[in-house]
Amino acid sequence: MPRRGRRKAPRGPRRGLRRRAARCHPRGLTVRGSPGAALVDVARGPDDLLVVGTGSRAPLRRLLRPSVARYCMSHAACPVLAVPPSPLQAQLESVHRRNVWRIPLDPRELTP
């Protein structure tokens, strides 16, 4: 007799995901070259998955250095997962700047 309030999760998608994860064998690799081209060259198989961070980029930095994530998304033959930065990254950078400039930090500024 099933318990009240609990439902069984669908078995199909999870079972398939577990099987695929069991066959996944990540590996480390060192490649020289420009970042975008090197990543696209290494992850050229249809079974590959390329995971790149998007990073928060200031307009001047964006002008001087092209985005690796954008390059990968437009040139890769495999699927590309672009991961945005954490929402806490901006707060961390703010605290770091205050430490560099030795500006006192009020802990109440860190709470949302």
The band of 71, judged by pLDDT with boundaries at 50, 70 and 90, is very high
**This prediction's pTM:** 0.59
**Tokens encoding 41:** 């060259």
The band of 73, judged by pLDDT with boundaries at 50, 70 and 90, is very high
Going by C-alpha positions, the residue among 75, 62, 64 that lies closest to residue 36 is 75
Q: How far apart are CA 43 and CA 64, in angstroms?
A: 26
The band of 65, judged by pLDDT with boundaries at 50, 70 and 90, is confident
Whether the Cβ atoms of residue 44 and residue 77 lie closer than 8 Å to each other: yes
